[in-house]
Amino acid sequence: MPIDPSQTYVFLAPDGSAVDVPGGEAFWSGPETELDRFGRSWLISEFECSSDWASWEMHPNADEFVYLLAGEAVFQLEDEGGVTSIPLKGHGAVVVPRGVWHTAKVSVPSRMLFVTLGAGTQHRPVDVRGA
């Protein structure tokens, strides 16, 4: 069966199996214990982004793969050296290293596919420490 990753996320379980889970709001409004369980393994999800991200995020336990499927965005990665901007247009990808704060400025509505190990993810508002 085909999967629409904007409606159905795929959880890559520690035993090597792939499990379909309801995506979108159904996923993110689930109980905290369930979200914590999914954060311990890889989650594949897709989002439509029509505006700049409202927060920076950081994943302390693994790199994150972000694939721009369509649209245009500038990914901003912040480390000790400052903020690096990575423009993507049409399609392309960025690997965000573990422990690096990141956000995106969306130039035109965009679709993005994420592969994330979410355990311990932290967020902060965009207006904190710049950009």
pTM above 0.85, yes or no: yes
**CATH classification of the domain holding 48:** 2.60.120.10
Looking at beta carbons, which pairs linking 124-127 to residues 24 or more positions away fall under 8 Å? 124/55, 124/56, 125/54, 125/55, 125/56, 126/52, 126/53, 126/54, 126/55, 126/56
Domain total in the chain: 1
Question: What does pLDDT average to over the chain?
Answer: 91
Residue with the bigger pLDDT between 116 and 14: it is 116
In a domain, 26, yes or no: yes
Using one digit for the tens of pLDDT, what is the confidence trace for 76-124? Answer: 999 999 999 999 999 899 999 999 999 999 999 999 999 999 888 999 9
In a domain, 76, yes or no: yes
Tokens 């214990």 belong to residue = 33
In a domain, 67, yes or no: yes
In a domain, 1, yes or no: no
In a domain, 28, yes or no: yes
Instruction: Residue 118: give the domain boundaries.
Output: 8-122
In a domain, 73, yes or no: yes
In a domain, 92, yes or no: yes
